[in-house]
Amino acid sequence: MATKTKAGPTKYEISINGKTATVVEDTYLLKAVMDAGFNVPTLCHHKDLTPDGTCRLCLCEVETNGKKKLVTACNYPVRSEIKVKTNTEEIKKHRKSLAEMYLGRWPNVETIQNIAKLCGATDKEKYKSDITDENPKACILCGHCVRACSSFMIQDILGFAGRGIKRHLTMPFGDVDPHCVGCTSCGYVCPTGAIQITDEMNNPVDPELIRRHGMKVNAEMATLDKMQNRMREVGTANIVEVMDAYDLLPVHNFKFGKHPDTHKIDSKVMTRDYFTQGAADACWLGCSMACAKAVDGFELKTGPYKGEKVVVDGPEYETAAGGSNMGGFDLDFIVEYNFYCDTYGIDTISFATTIAFVMEAFEAGIITEEHTGGKKLNFGAMDEALECLHEMARGEGFGVEVGQGVRRLKEKWVKELGADPEFLNDIGMEVKGLEFSEYVSKESLAQQAGYAMAIKGPQHDEAWLIFIDMVNNQIPSFDDKAEALYYFPLFRIWFGLLGLCKIVWNDVAPADNSKYPPQEAAKIPEHVENYWKFFEGMTGIPVDEDKMLLQAERVFNLQRLMSYYFGRGTREDDMPPLRAIGPATVEEYLSREERYDKQMKEEIGIDPEGKSAEEKLAITRDHRFKQYNKVIDAAYKRRGWDENGVPTVERLKQIGIDIPEVMALLERPDQ
Amino acid sequence: MIEVNNKEKLDWFEGMTVQDVLDKMGYIYPRITVSVNDQLVNKEDYATYKVPDNARVNVFHLAHGG
Amino acid sequence: MSNTKKLKEHHKVLGESAFEIVSLNKGYADRILRIDLDKNEITTTEVTQQMKDLWIGGKGFDLWLTLPEIDRDTKWDSNNNPICFSSGPLGGTTSFPGSGKTLITTISPLTNLIIDSNVGGHFGPYLKFAGFDALTVVGKAKEDSIIFIDAVEGKITIETAPEEQVDSHLAAEEFTEMYAESDIDKKNIAVVSAGRAAEHTRMGILNFSFWDWRRNAARLKQAGRGGVGTVFRNKNLKAIVIKNRNYTPSWRVEENKVARYVTPKKISIQKDAGDINEIKAIIKKWNNDPEYVIEMMQDIQDHFKHISKTAVELLTEHTGTPKAAIYHIATFYKSFSLEPKGETLIQVCLGTACHVKGAQNVLTSFERAIGIKDGGTTEDRKYSLEGVRCLGACSIAPVIKIGDEVIGNVQAKDVEKILKNYKAESIEETEVEQDTAADLDRVNSSTLEQIKTREMENTARYKGALMVCTGTGCVSAKGLNIHDSLKKELKKRNLESDYLVVKTGCNGFCAVGPILVVQPQGVFYQKVSMEDIASIIDDHLLGGNIVEKLLYKDPQTEKTYTSMNEIEFFTEQQLIALRNKGLIDPENIDHYIARDGYKALAKALEMDSDAIIKEVTVSGIRGRGGGGFPAGIKWQSCKKAMEEREEPSYIVCNADEGDPGAFMDRSIIETDPHSVIEGMLIAAKALQAKEGFIYIRKEYPLAMERLEKALDQARSRGLLGDSIMGTNFSFDIHIHRGAGAFVCGESTALMASMSGKAGEPKAKYIHNVEYGYRDKPTVLNNVETWANIPEIILKGAGWFADIGTGEVKENPWNGSSGTKVFSLVGDVNNTGLVEVPMGITLHDIVFKVGGGIPNGRKFKAIQTGGPSGGCIPDDMLDMKVDFDSLSEAGSMMGSGGMIVMDDHTCMVDVARYFINFLIDESCGKCTPCREGLFALSKILTRITKGEGREDDLEQLQELSETIEASSLCQLGGTAPNPVLTTLRYFEDEYIKHIKDKTCPAGICTELITYSINDNCTGCVICAKNCPTEAISGEPKELHTINQQDCIKCGICLESCKYNAVEVK
């Protein structure tokens, strides 16, 4: 598919009250006017909401080709070189008149009084009538709440009723809709205090503080998500094509990082043909990210529910990337295996990674149809993969063996089939017995460690450092990487102590996040602060970075010690398979030969010239394991663990968990 | 010759823009910030902002992942 | 009993414990729940401060709670391997996004280490709301079991669950259904489950459900990693179910004073299952398509006479349209009522033509006669009464509609009779004719000619044709009965093979209906009654003698005319849009084809897109809907937008003719529906559109019926649908019925309405041709414009451009080409529908075509352009009628309503009338239109009451200017026109009201008195008719009016034959 050449946005030189400004096409005039330093009165405008253009106070004169007209600046998109005047006599006259109308109807509302003052309207009596409302907290029909309900929450729980002069704000029939989730956005954006609502289930110390920071994120979701990760549109699957472009999408059991068929399963196809759009897809009430996408009315093609139309939750990124990992570049397949994994109770990640491993073993001849029950399990064998899934549910056949996971298959095949253990260990994508989640970590040392050192097993939710390390090259030294491997796991664990979702932290970022230096920006400082305030607003206890890290570090070490207690959780448990840290086969080496050769020359200092692929692979392997060991050495040190990866007593004291229950975990009979 | 993220080298050509650099590098992730010789470049200027020869371009990708 | 209740009967309670419901404090419940499945033991413990300090919650609590349960030998499948669930202190917050995770830990079957997993869904927060910061489950059940935590009753049970499904998508729904009290309660249930495969593998997950009430399905979120589901099934757990206390936020909005006018006093709930099923069936009939929600509501309103709360909820549930949006629609459109309406709806038209002819008195009379106010319903729910804004039968004003029957020329004194007659007779059934649509053959360009020839041969077999007008005007005057009995009578005399009886659409000369034209001679019979039928057949058809008494007599010259072509009403006209009026049966597509119908389409199918657009552009045709935007330029922009964005385009026909005093569009559709369809087809060909829509007023049932028939016939003829005329061009047209909102004539509001929303306009800074219907490039033109298109293509752009004013071939903005259809109504003799060339003077329209002012009264003003148009005075009658001249005069073309007003019209009252009309029709979205019009009305009202103030005129001017300059859409932008033009041309009349407290025209009731003068003969008719018995006097003696009782209804004036009633 030919990619369209990206033309940059068109810009226009416009004149505002004689001052020249350069404005990107389709910028709303109000923004341009404000940016140019002029002030225009508004009532219905809200920076985080789509303009509605109903109060009409922001009237400006726009001149195009000699023709003048009045427009509302808030929703007028700049699409030509215009001359703008914001404060002509005519405009002033109309603004005053509009303000008088407002004043006549709602004379005691402070917002109105301020606007009236600004527009030179003073006569409260002029348009006084039988519908004049003396209530200082009256609703002035600005519609902020309606738009917030709709664009913050995709809920549309409240709205206007009646028309003309009878227009008013309400929930249907004047009752509180039982589906109102209590997100409090409406009350937050209301300029007059006409709406009262609180989220009180948790009885927080300071609900206002929580709301103030929560709403910032809601506003970002409403305004920025569509330009950032499009979580509302595609959920977490937004990055399938991104991962492909960065050579990070697992393909064929993590051999490769991209595939020419990725466009068949990318987010464009998902949004166009699969996901229902514009739905309030939040997995918990009040979540504006609404990333729990679903495929509605999906007709199943296999299994016991064949022919039925079902709602499928997802596919999320991991599931879609699991598809590519198995060579299944077909969204129908991905949605189908997604559905059956869910309803049968199977982890899509472990399933896909194990099947991908089985497929590679099948192609390598380690197992044959004889072992698989007649299934030709080559890469891309989607029907066969689904059949394994159905076997898992029936509790029979090869599928049940697959369901024991990569580690047990390796053991079984070595023991029963005499397979080469080294090869299987190199390509079997598991650490500690858990299958890898779906990112290629080969080119990021920090991510390799983030995966393999994760206490529970290789899963990205403890650290996701690929961009920071490999792409941004922000943590070049081992100490830098160790620091990242200290901060991010702890920060991410912190969410798990509080019942929070991490996606809201980092899949949308404030528009001005780039004002921070890159290392800081990666943490999204404003969001981190939001969470501190959230914690404070709930518990009354202020937190800062040190305190937050301390809270997390205690739990982090507790979990590590529990592994130790079971006789595990040491260095050998943190060792990844070769494929996770570099090319594991000649085929793989050759697929990126130029890059690996270059690295050999520049980083290892060995001239690849004249060496066979096998030799080069061996050199690379050796080098990469050395590098890896260096990284975990540094990380252990930063974490206050000994070189075997065991938390030291000193550290436990430092962080205040040297209590008997914890210290008991350190006593191992074999030590 | 320009340097991207203190690592990758790209051949420079007359009229090279930030967008050209992003296209060359295959950087399609939406949440990035770009600086050229430590000067931040606005998103809407990517297609017009000229990258001088020998520039240091930093394309910073925000993290992701739940 | 429902299926799930049966399943539940097989549960056996193994363990049970009550617990106290505690409220949360700073995010903590300070209590932990532990369930031991070995011992069926349910215990709670307190959370210590140390726990909170060191481990915070969530995973921290889980791990800490795991410690005392395990030992070094604990494996994943050991009885003492705990599964721990915890939310965390911030969990369950709704004012901060992403706060609903549950953290789970257990020893993993894959790693034999602690695995932790985080998951969404509602379980975690609900567990905390139930009063537990964490839950530990240890032990193994002996058989498939569930744990049920009931936070409503404060009870936890361990129960066997032998028969429920294991697969999660079914289990989640079954358990939700089982434990929810009602549909709405389902949102309070959360289910944790694992599927069948979790039993046989090590990678089992837990599914955490949440009820998606919009999809009516349980959604599942997965605690995926490490085999938690495997451990769960190993414990023989089928599910953990939690039932949350219902929580509705304490939301409150300050009361708005106007809300009580909208909020129903009694909320109606449908309890009858049959009714509910019927509502569901209606929704299903429209394929649950949210774009058709307004259609569904119209069907519901028609059937149940209101929209109940149940209906609102069902519509939300089955179409996914937000309830607030449905409620907005239900309170926005006039057609809908939240409280039940009466069996028979009486609508009194208050359109402009009716208003100037005394409709208000008719309405008042009905109010008195049935004892309810406008908008009310009688106690016995027999009648509902409402004043409506134009029924589109202005030529027979004043008009009312009772049930399905339209009655014209109603006077206040007729009301009792109408009610009596309506009770007595039901509507006569008209003969149902077989619809031949199904047998029609598909056509291509060559068969068009064959059909034409066949039709002409067919006609030639008859000696003559009797063309009976069945436009709305004539139908209300029993035109259909004339048609039916003509047929009956001819049959009786065995003449049915000699004379063809044709139902034609509106002839246009509605003033004199019912109309019958005898062809081929073109003898024009007017005001034909049932009694005349015999003599028409016997004298005229058989005897060859024309029936003199039915001929038209010019009211000015008293001259009698035989042929239609000689009557001045017709001679000044030039027919393009109405080319087939009176000549064809609109319900027969072959009649249209015989008049060269669809020939233009055949031609267009051979032209390329640019050629078609060029033809339309060069013709200079400007939109007939009011704005006068050149159609060709519009099409061109649409093409550009669709090509640039590679998007499909849509073709839309605006038939939402809302202007009071206008009925052009209705008549065109009733007369010649195919001309509109053909026009749209030509545009579709030019713009590669696949779908078109016609948005038509619900108040036009006859037009709708004919349109539907025409669409069906066109489909069977292969003129709509796939491969039109055998080419690869495909296009179809769907109908949307408007639900009573004038503002929906505005294009963006129309498209909002077509999308199933309240008809609120939006800013047009980006045009519909770029982002219109469904945000795709859209061409919207009105009925008349579409009807012109085929003729332009067939006869050429030059032919069209030469008609009318200006040199438009180079630039359509340079003039107004072609003709324009006007509805000429009000105080004029020849009311009806006329089509005249652009550039004709107003004088010619009023005095030549219109035949002057009746009853010897004086012309005062002509109002053009609908409610947002202006009133043009006497001294400007020589003005040429075209787009630009009318605008200059402060009025506008609008869709073509022309209301003639005689000297018995008060211009202040007219201005007030229009402003009140618009207050009612304003959507209320933007401030100037909503608040400004209200303020205008207040001022105008006080002036008509004699309470005007010195500076009122200044205020009127000032308000008008701001409303005009600052309104969001054209409804508001032009709304002050009636005020501005009357101020401009009739200022002295305002001043008389304000300063002298008089109404020179004798209209403003507060400023006038009725009295009886010496002409009175004592005939007693006025006294009889007076509704308040304010007139007294002996027979044959002078009567007097008791001013205290007089309500100034004007009935006495209306009924006096001796010019004895005076108004001062």
C185-224 per-position pLDDT tens digit: 999 999 999 999 999 999 999 999 999 988 889 999 999 8
ipTM: 0.95
- Does residue B15 belong to the interface with chain A, where contact is any CB pair within 8 Å? no
B65 chain-A contacts, CB cut-off 8 A:
439, 460-461, 464, 502, 506
- Does residue C920 belong to the interface with chain A, where contact is any CB pair within 8 Å? yes
Lowest mean pLDDT among C419-433, C668-682, C803-817: C419-433
Mean residue pLDDT across chain C: 92
Please write the tens of the pLDDT for every residue from A88-136: 999 999 999 999 999 999 999 999 999 999 999 999 999 999 999 999 9
Class of domain C3-243: alpha beta
Could you give the CA distance from residue C687 to residue C649 in angstroms, rounded to a whole number?
7
C779 half-sphere exposure, CB direction, 13 A CA radius: 37
Q: How far is CA C673 from the centre of its chain?
A: 21
> Domain spans of chain B?
2-61
In the CATH scheme, what is the code of domain C817-996? 3.10.20.600
C25 half-sphere exposure, CB direction, 13 A CA radius: 6
Q: Which of C889, C897, C781, C759 is nearest to C834 (CA)?
A: C897
User: E strands within A49-122?
Assistant: 59-64, 67-72, 83-85
Which CATH architecture describes the domain C1009-1063? 2-Layer Sandwich (3.30)
Chains sharing 3 or more CB pairs under 8 A with chain C: A
CB–CB of A464 and B63 under 8 A? Answer: yes
Interface residue of A514, A519, A602 to substitute, partner B, most B CBs within 10 Å: A514
- Does residue B14 belong to the interface with chain A, where contact is any CB pair within 8 Å? no
CB pairs under 8 A between A and B: 92
What is the nearest CA distance from B54 to chain A, expressed in angstroms? 19
Question: 10 Å Cβ neighbour count for A433?
Answer: 22
Instruction: Please answer whether residues C388 and C410 qualify as being in contact, where contact means their C-beta atoms are separated by less than 8 angstroms.
Output: no
CB–CB of B5 and A507 under 8 A? Answer: no
Interface residue of A150, A152, A166, A221 to substitute, partner C, most C CBs within 10 Å: A166
CB–CB of B44 and A8 under 8 A? Answer: yes
Could you give the CA distance from residue A369 to residue C271 in angstroms, rounded to a whole number?
62
Q: Which of residues 702-741 of C touch A (CB under 8 A)?
A: 741
CB–CB of B6 and A8 under 8 A? Answer: no
pLDDT score, position B66 = 59
Please write the tens of the pLDDT for every residue from A232-256: 999 988 899 999 999 999 999 999 9
The partner residue sitting opposite A521, judged by closest CB among B60, B65, B66, is B60
pLDDT score, position A671 = 55
Q: Does domain C344-424 have CATH number 2.60.40.10?
A: no
For residue A151, what is the enclosing H or E element? helix A144-151
Please write the tens of the pLDDT for every residue from C28-74: 999 999 999 999 999 999 999 999 999 999 999 999 999 999 999 99
Q: Which of C755, C743, C733 is nearest to C656 (CA)?
A: C743
Rounded to 10 deg, the angle between the C673-687 and C609-619 helix axes is: 130
Lowest mean pLDDT among C44-58, C126-140, C394-408, C953-967: C394-408
Class of domain C461-553: alpha beta
CB–CB of B60 and A242 under 8 A? Answer: no
What is the nearest CA distance from A655 to chain B, expressed in angstroms? 27
The partner residue sitting opposite A239, judged by closest CB among B6, B59, B64, is B64
Mean residue pLDDT across chain A: 94
B26 chain-A contacts, CB cut-off 8 A:
245-246
For residue C252, what is the enclosing H or E element? strand C252-253
Distances from the Cα of C412 to the Cα of C122, C368, C1024, angstroms:
65, 11, 13
A461 chain-B contacts, CB cut-off 8 A:
65-66
A173 chain-C contacts, CB cut-off 8 A:
263-264, 267, 309, 312, 327, 338
A467 chain-B contacts, CB cut-off 8 A:
29, 61-64
What is the band of A670 on the pLDDT scale with cuts at 50, 70, 90? low
In terms of CA atoms, which chain A residue is nearest residue C130? A201
Please write the tens of the pLDDT for every residue from A485-522: 999 999 999 999 999 999 999 899 998 888 888 778 88
C111 chain-A contacts, CB cut-off 8 A:
432-434, 456-457
Q: DSSP per residue over C1030-1042, as a string?
A: -EE--TTS--EE-
Question: In the CATH hierarchy, which fold is given to the domain comprising A231-435?
Answer: 1.10.569
In terms of CA atoms, which chain A residue is nearest residue C312? A172
What is the nearest CA distance from C145 to chain A, expressed in angstroms? 17
More confident residue, C734 or C626: C734
What is the nearest CA distance from C757 to chain A, expressed in angstroms? 12
The partner residue sitting opposite C258, judged by closest CB among A165, A194, A196, is A165
Pairing of strands C816-817, C804-805: antiparallel
pLDDT score, position C355 = 84
More confident residue, C137 or C894: C137
pLDDT score, position C423 = 67
Which CATH architecture describes the domain B2-61? Roll (3.10)
What is the nearest CA distance from C762 to chain A, expressed in angstroms? 8
For residue B25, what is the enclosing H or E element? helix B18-25
Could you give the CA distance from residue A390 to residue A385 in angstroms, rounded to a whole number?
9
Q: What is the CA radius of gyration of chain C?
A: 36
Residues in Cβ contact with C912 at an 8 Å cutoff, skipping those fewer than 6 apart: C937, C940, C941, C943, C944
CB–CB of C332 and A162 under 8 A? Answer: yes
pLDDT score, position C439 = 60
CB–CB of B65 and A506 under 8 A? Answer: yes
Burial class (CB in 10 A: 0-12, 13-18, 19+), C496: middle
pLDDT higher than 80, residue A653: yes
Chains sharing 3 or more CB pairs under 8 A with chain B: A
C327 chain-A contacts, CB cut-off 8 A:
159, 161, 170, 172-173
Lowest mean pLDDT among A183-187, C148-152, C643-647: C643-647
Could you give the CA distance from residue A391 to residue C199 in angstroms, rounded to a whole number?
12
Pick the CATH number of A11-87 from 1.10.760.10, 3.10.20.740, 3.40.50.1360, 3.30.465.10: 3.10.20.740
As given in the structure block, the two tokens for residue A662 are 């914890």
The partner residue sitting opposite A345, judged by closest CB among C98, C197, C923, is C197
- Does residue B1 belong to the interface with chain A, where contact is any CB pair within 8 Å? no
Distances from the Cα of C423 to the Cα of C140, C378, C383, C982, angstroms:
77, 15, 11, 43
Residues in Cβ contact with C332 at an 8 Å cutoff, skipping those fewer than 6 apart: A161, A162, A163, C741, C758, C759, C923
A234 chain-B contacts, CB cut-off 8 A:
none
Please write the tens of the pLDDT for every residue from C1001-1054: 988 988 999 999 999 998 988 888 888 889 998 888 899 999 988 988 888 887
Burial class (CB in 10 A: 0-12, 13-18, 19+), A112: buried
Pick the CATH number of C589-816 from 3.40.1080.10, 3.40.50.2020, 3.40.50.1100, 3.40.50.11540: 3.40.50.11540
Largest CA distance in chain C: 121
Lowest mean pLDDT among C46-60, C380-394, C436-450, C868-882: C436-450
Interface residue of A249, A283, A349, A471 to substitute, partner B, most B CBs within 10 Å: A471
pLDDT score, position A3 = 36
Q: Where are the alpha helices (H) located in C286-335, listed in sequence order?
A: 293-304, 309-319, 323-332
Burial C460-486 (b: 16+ CB within 10 A, else e): eebebbbbbbbbbbbbbbbbbbbbbbb
What is the nearest CA distance from C587 to chain A, expressed in angstroms? 38
pLDDT higher than 70, residue C424: no
Considering chain A, what percentage of its residues have pLDDT values greater than 90? 90
- According to DSSP, residue C254 is labeled P
Burial class (CB in 10 A: 0-12, 13-18, 19+), C272: exposed
CB–CB of A506 and B28 under 8 A? Answer: no
Q: How far is CA A132 from the centre of its chain?
A: 48
Sign of the Cα pseudo-torsion (C844, C847, C849, C850, in order)? positive
Sign of the Cα pseudo-torsion (C322, C327, C329, C332, in order)? negative
pLDDT higher than 80, residue C248: yes
> Domain spans of chain A?
11-87, 231-435, 475-666
Could you give the CA distance from residue C837 to residue C840 in angstroms, rounded to a whole number?
6
Please write the tens of the pLDDT for every residue from B16-66: 999 999 999 999 998 888 999 988 888 888 988 999 999 999 999 988 765
Considering chain C, what percentage of its residues have pLDDT values greater than 90? 69
In terms of CA atoms, which chain A residue is nearest residue C759? A163
Mean pLDDT, residues C335-363 taken together? 89
The partner residue sitting opposite B61, judged by closest CB among A7, A472, A524, is A472
Residues in Cβ contact with C166 at an 8 Å cutoff, skipping those fewer than 6 apart: C193, C194, C195, C196, C199, C238
Please write the tens of the pLDDT for every residue from A341-389: 999 999 999 999 999 999 999 999 999 999 999 999 999 999 999 999 9
pLDDT higher than 90, residue C413: no
Q: Does domain A475-666 have CATH number 1.10.599?
A: yes
pLDDT higher than 50, residue C24: yes
The partner residue sitting opposite B19, judged by closest CB among A8, A460, A468, is A8
**Same fold flag, A11-87 and A231-435:** no
Please write the tens of the pLDDT for every residue from C271-285: 899 999 999 999 999
CB pairs under 8 A between A and C: 564
Please write the tens of the pLDDT for every residue from A590-639: 999 999 999 999 999 999 999 999 999 999 999 999 999 999 999 999 99
Interface residue of A127, A135, A343, A505 to substitute, partner C, most C CBs within 10 Å: A343
Considering chain C, what percentage of its residues have pLDDT values greater than 70? 98
Interface residue of C30, C65, C253 to substitute, partner A, most A CBs within 10 Å: C253
Residues in Cβ contact with C593 at an 8 Å cutoff, skipping those fewer than 6 apart: C443, C448, C451, C452, C455
Q: Which of residues 646-685 of C touch A (CB under 8 A)?
A: none
pLDDT higher than 50, residue A393: yes
Please write the tens of the pLDDT for every residue from C97-156: 999 999 999 999 999 999 999 999 999 999 999 999 999 999 999 999 999 999 999 999
Mean pLDDT, residues C360-371 taken together? 89
